[in-house]
Structure 1
Amino acid sequence: MIFSANDPNLSDSLLDKALGELILSASGWRGVFAADGNEESAAGDISPAHGLIAAVAAAVFADYLKKTFPAPRVIVGMDTRPTGPAIADVIIRALLVLGCGVNYVSVTAAPEIMAFARRGKSDGFVYISASHNPIGHNGLKFGLTDGGVLPGAEALPIIEEFRRRMTLGDRIPQAMGLINRANTKALEEVYAETGRVKQEAYQAYLDFIREVSAGAASAQGEGIPGLISRNIRDRPLGVAIDFNGSARTLSIDKEFLASLGLKVHAMNDKPGQIAHRIIPEGESLEPCRLFLEEVHAKDPSVILGVVPDCDGDRGNLVFWDDAQNKARALEAQEVFALACVSELAHLVWTGELTYDNKGNALQKAAVAINDPTSMRIDRIAMAFDVSVFRAEVGEANVVGLARKLREQGYVVRILGEGSAGGNITHPSAVRDPINTMLSLIKLLTIRSEGERKGFFELWCDLSDQAETYHPDFSLADIIAALPAFISTGTSTPEAMLQVKTTDQGLLKSRYQRVFLRDWEEKKESLLSRYGITAWEAAVYNGMEEKRGISDFSAAGRGGLKISFINKAGHKAACIWMRGSATEPVFRVMADVGGSDKRIERALIEWQRKMVSEADNYLGA
């Protein structure tokens, strides 16, 4: 992609407009890159302004790497969005001009490029994706060789330097030079090696997932993968995958799952064959649900279905529900809860987590999650005598928190953003649908044998539900054994608001006034209806949680949660809020213990009303 100074579509005003619409956060840089400006565009062209943005972003990251590596080698990859190749070409050119080596992997799932970066043959990566945003969006993620994106403390200085360079008077000619001066021969060599690089990335990811799946049990007899395979031979299991044209179409899914003995059925499995909304929630799960019903009718052993997002670091599930005799979708919070039960049971099964004769854990173990993850996880962790720690929304925050906890001596096998579904299984540092599937597969296949209890029986015993266990259990039985909670789904209309107030600290300060007034008015009815006697506020900024705060504005742009406490002194429900750092929306949620949907409805309606009033607040 070559730019000319005489291009009528390139000017300071057009560049400023593109910059103004760009969202920059540690979780990723995102915007509508499609040249026609349509967020649902299937066109592959990007505007010159977005080309310059990509070039400067590459330059800032290259200079960041050069502080440690004189001639850094950078992996460049992308998901299957139409604008990916154009952005990749700009980034590769800029990196070459700046003296970096480039390994171009082309289409690759986010967990794949991160596993490849772990191998030590590079110094960092640039991944081109807008995750679950609409198809006309695109963006960038940056990382090193630790298997995840840059943590917030490292990402924010890069963002600030990018912003600084974009204020300079010579920003356009400087960026054009990064694109137009690339050596043609060097560029051709990068593209010529793409096939080989892709194979290396694929193999690195396959090897890494085998390591994750084995865990500490790899030295114990046949190990967990072998046990899964043996049990699937006795009790066949199959999976239906709606790839939705994502980057996972060219990844390890079919080979790895088949190696465990699963039957794999796929739809929309050609790269770029994006057949429906990218976000794997709500209506986007319906094609897979119908596909699972169709396949299950022919082969009853096929009982799981998965839908990944475009970059393949997230996937939510559908399953065949024996109790209802139909396939149904799982809520994102349910998926994460099941993964937590499985991975904590994994620690018990392998002997990494043991107990004294009073049921107290002898090792320090923890789960690291984001602030809107359901309190259901606290109940699950309590059964295992495991601690729960929360960080602000953002995968980098949760991964950073887990690393901090390990430095403090905690075993942290599972972490993640339960509000969005999926999980991160150590040593992974990114969500991965393969690991989510593995968690459920282990629950279903690692069953009790002789004196050794399987994963589900361990859960039943530790959660005081031993009487509910029976050897011929199904996934529906496991779901029924989860603590009962109802949470607002992140993709539902009730979970999103548009707010005018740009200062979120001010918004939360106004919200505090509204909440305190409403609390005084409602506390008697909250007590009589729901048994709520008190509340506690907590704020979440980066990896830090502060509870019992008296100034709601301390949340700033981070998360604010109000927990409601019942007569027994336990947290029974909560409401939460935070402006998205990757989408132009303000998110709210309610989370309620029990199965009464009416309580969740009442709390989310109250939350929306209070936020809207705070946004339109006219007081002093």
Structure 2
Amino acid sequence: MARKWFGTDGVRGQVGDSVIHPEWVLRLGWAAGHVLTADAPGRPQVVIGKDTRLSGYMLESALESGLAAAGVDVLLVGPLPTPAIAYLTRTLRADAGIVISASHNPYQDNGIKFFSGDGYKLPDAQEEAIEAWMDRPMTLSASERLGKARRVDDAVGRYVEFCKTTFPADLNLRSMHLVLDCAHGANYKVAPMIFGELGATLELLGVEPNGININDQVGSTHPEALRAAVLRTGADMGIAFDGDGDRLLLVDDQGELIDGDEILWLLARDMCQYGELSGVVGTVMTNLALEQALAGCGVPMVRAPVGDRYVLEAMRRHGYPLGGESSGHIITPANTTGDGILAALRILAILRRTGEALAALREGYRPFPQVLKSVRIAGAQSLLDQPLARQLIADAEDRLGGTGRLLVRPSGTEPLLRIMVEAASADMAADVAATLTTGLAKLALASAVLGPLN
């Protein structure tokens, strides 16, 4: 069934458009309230959290009104990272959780994503059910059954203490110097508390949100400032989160960037040594080097579609305890969704146990040269369905000759066509990616003017 509004990570768009608008979001809250609490015993409850975007206040009020109209009580936890909402939904025994965030996007965008009562992102079927409810006439619950809202004043402390309990009790971070970049986002308060209370000396970036500076030249999509700070201060490690805190990138003590694939490798190798790893889930974007490195340890890897919820679905299906994406969504057994703070704590625990520097731990892992490109286009899938587009892709695959990988896919969250090329050499990857990107961009332009071309 084709979905009208939900993408790979909930609903997302520019604030003020037909979807990310208070009237539409009110209806979304009403529909979600009916679908997600249909089997709730007693009075249903839903947790709402958000990142630091200015528009979050407006959308929070709209969601709260829609849920109340459906007879659902609302627990407001304020600005907290997405994984904190998953955790709080479980531990507060709520029927569902909702996050208002557009993740790594700029402040002009916002979005809504949902968790079930057990802290997992919704399967497609439930999102489709919510969409179906939105087509119904909106009716109010009886006056005596309308929902009400209250704030959970200790939500920050609950999540901080949970994260600290995942770090080995016999270890601490004293004498470690860390640089944290919180992207002026949802981790701006909790991350410094967690790493600071474990004993680390901190240099902080991106911890002064003003509602419009989220992800602005900071965070995991802009690691340049983090790298410079690590080199300037001689820090042991740099950690960059995205706007909603569910993913991270690292910088080692030599100033080198570590992406999600390599973070997965460091965690997987450590878990193997303790007999804790039956397999790993990556995505179609995961670097071939990770798959080969895991195979060398006798660990299977399966690939899921892009999107951390698809990674988690595959982890549950195969019974694998570790999964993630190149972009830095890392899912460990400690939480039910990607959690940047928990992943960073696991890496730090490895450093503490081994006594090695992060740069030394990385030795031996050699990713295939990978080039990522994007073509901005509405209707990306329609373009890919054209014979000329398929021919351009086939020509690129022929050039790689079986020594690399090629993936072309529509973005699940933006009007973009994503292109990934891996090859044995950086020059080959760059050349194939540039040729294919140019060809598809020209075809998109011609199609917009002339219509689909055969």
- Normalised TM-score (structure 2): 0.87
Q: Could you tell me which residue of structure 2 aligns to residue 453 of structure 1? A: none
Matched, 1:139 2:111: yes
Matched, 1:380 2:263: no
CA distance in 1 between counterparts of 2:262 and 2:406 reads: 23
Matched, 1:511 2:389: yes
The number of residue pairs the alignment matches comes to 443
Q: Could you tell me which residue of structure 2 aligns to residue 108 of structure 1? A: 80
CA distance in 1 between counterparts of 2:335 and 2:387 reads: 38
Q: Could you tell me which residue of structure 2 aligns to residue 560 of structure 1? A: none
Letter in 2 for 1:440: I
Q: Which secondary structure state, in structure 2, belongs to the residue aligned with residue 320 of structure 1?
A: coil
Q: Could you tell me which residue of structure 1 aligns to residue 61 of structure 2? A: 89
Q: Could you tell me which residue of structure 1 aligns to residue 331 of structure 2? A: 424
Matched, 1:435 2:342: yes
When residues 122 and 488 of structure 1 are mapped into structure 2, their CA distance, relative to the original with a 3 A threshold, is same
Q: Could you tell me which residue of structure 2 aligns to residue 202 of structure 1? A: 156
Contact 2:20 2:111 in 1 (8 A): no
Matched, 1:290 2:228: yes
Q: Could you tell me which residue of structure 2 aligns to residue 303 of structure 1? A: 236
Q: Could you tell me which residue of structure 1 aligns to residue 440 of structure 2? A: 611
Map 1:1-20 → 2, pairs under 5 A:
none
Map 1:538-617 → 2, pairs under 5 A:
564=402, 572-593=403-424, 596-612=425-441, 615=444, 616=446
Q: How far does the alpha carbon of each residue in 1:214-244 deviate from its partner, in whole angstroms, 9 at most, with x for none?
A: xxxxxxxxxx342x32xx55xx321111223
* Residue 578 of structure 1, CA deviation: 0.9
Q: How far does the alpha carbon of each residue in 1:25-77 deviate from its partner, in whole angstroms, 9 at most, with x for none?
A: 2412111225xx7xxxxxxxxx9981111111001111102321153111111
* Residue 379 of structure 1, CA deviation: 1.6
* Residue 375 of structure 1, CA deviation: 1.0
When residues 160 and 590 of structure 1 are mapped into structure 2, their CA distance, relative to the original with a 3 A threshold, is farther
- Normalised TM-score (structure 1): 0.65
Contact 1:246 1:272 in 2 (8 A): no
CA distance in 1 between counterparts of 2:275 and 2:363 reads: 26
Matched, 1:351 2:264: no
Matched, 1:476 2:409: no
Q: How far does the alpha carbon of each residue in 1:77-124 deviate from its partner, in whole angstroms, 9 at most, with x for none?
A: 111000111111111122122211111111111111111011152110
When residues 347 and 513 of structure 1 are mapped into structure 2, their CA distance, relative to the original with a 3 A threshold, is same
Task: Provide the identity percentage.
Answer: 21
Q: Could you tell me which residue of structure 2 aligns to residue 55 of structure 1? A: 26
Any unmatched runs of 5+ in structure 2? Answer: none
Contact 2:180 2:192 in 1 (8 A): no
Q: Which secondary structure state, in structure 1, belongs to the residue aligned with residue 385 of structure 2?
A: helix
When residues 63 and 509 of structure 1 are mapped into structure 2, their CA distance, relative to the original with a 3 A threshold, is farther
CA distance in 2 between counterparts of 1:244 and 1:49 reads: 22
Map 1:60-459 → 2, pairs under 5 A:
60-69=31-40, 71-162=43-134, 164-165=135-136, 174=138, 190=149, 193-194=150-151, 197-199=152-154, 201-210=155-164, 212-213=166-167, 224-226=168-170, 228-229=171-172, 236-251=175-190, 253-272=191-210, 274=213, 277=216, 280-281=219-220, 284-294=222-232, 296=233, 300=234, 302-321=235-254, 327-328=255-256, 330=257, 334-352=258-276, 365-406=278-319, 412-418=320-326, 420-447=327-354
Q: How far does the alpha carbon of each residue in 1:455-505 deviate from its partner, in whole angstroms, 9 at most, with x for none?
A: xxxxxxxxxxxxxxxxxx53223334212322224xxxxx11134655548
CA distance in 2 between counterparts of 1:578 and 1:110 reads: 26
Letter in 2 for 1:374: N
CA distance in 2 between counterparts of 1:340 and 1:59 reads: 39
Contact 2:374 2:417 in 1 (8 A): yes
| Greater RCO (CA < 8 Å, at least 6 residues apart) | 2
* Residue 23 of structure 1, CA deviation: 5.1
Any unmatched runs of 5+ in structure 1? Answer: 1-21, 38-46, 166-170, 214-223, 322-326, 354-364, 407-411, 449-472, 490-494, 533-563, 565-571
Contact 2:85 2:98 in 1 (8 A): no
When residues 373 and 118 of structure 1 are mapped into structure 2, their CA distance, relative to the original with a 3 A threshold, is same
Letter in 2 for 1:305: G
Matching residue within 356, 366, 376 for 1:498? 376
Q: Which secondary structure state, in structure 2, belongs to the residue aligned with residue 247 of structure 1?
A: coil
When residues 341 and 76 of structure 1 are mapped into structure 2, their CA distance, relative to the original with a 3 A threshold, is same
Q: Could you tell me which residue of structure 2 aligns to residue 558 of structure 1? A: none
Q: Which secondary structure state, in structure 1, belongs to the residue aligned with residue 253 of structure 2?
A: strand
Contact 2:237 2:358 in 1 (8 A): no
Letter in 2 for 1:477: A
CA distance in 1 between counterparts of 2:306 and 2:265 reads: 22
CA distance in 1 between counterparts of 2:83 and 2:243 reads: 12
Contact 2:14 2:20 in 1 (8 A): no
When residues 369 and 441 of structure 1 are mapped into structure 2, their CA distance, relative to the original with a 3 A threshold, is same
Letter in 2 for 1:131: S
- With 507-516 and 112-121 compared, the bigger mean Cα shift is at 507-516
Q: Which secondary structure state, in structure 1, belongs to the residue aligned with residue 188 of structure 2?
A: helix
User: Alpha carbon RMSD of aligned pairs, Å?
Assistant: 3.1
Q: Could you tell me which residue of structure 1 aligns to residue 10 of structure 2? A: 28
When residues 318 and 130 of structure 1 are mapped into structure 2, their CA distance, relative to the original with a 3 A threshold, is same
Contact 2:182 2:219 in 1 (8 A): no
CA distance in 2 between counterparts of 1:84 and 1:247 reads: 11
Q: Could you tell me which residue of structure 2 aligns to residue 12 of structure 1? A: none
* Residue 276 of structure 1, CA deviation: 5.3
Q: Which secondary structure state, in structure 2, belongs to the residue aligned with residue 255 of structure 1?
A: helix
When residues 426 and 445 of structure 1 are mapped into structure 2, their CA distance, relative to the original with a 3 A threshold, is same
Letter in 1 for 2:250: L
Contact 1:60 1:158 in 2 (8 A): yes
Q: How far does the alpha carbon of each residue in 1:257-303 deviate from its partner, in whole angstroms, 9 at most, with x for none?
A: 23433222223323436275277345x22222333334x1xxx4x22
When residues 62 and 154 of structure 1 are mapped into structure 2, their CA distance, relative to the original with a 3 A threshold, is same
Contact 1:110 1:127 in 2 (8 A): yes
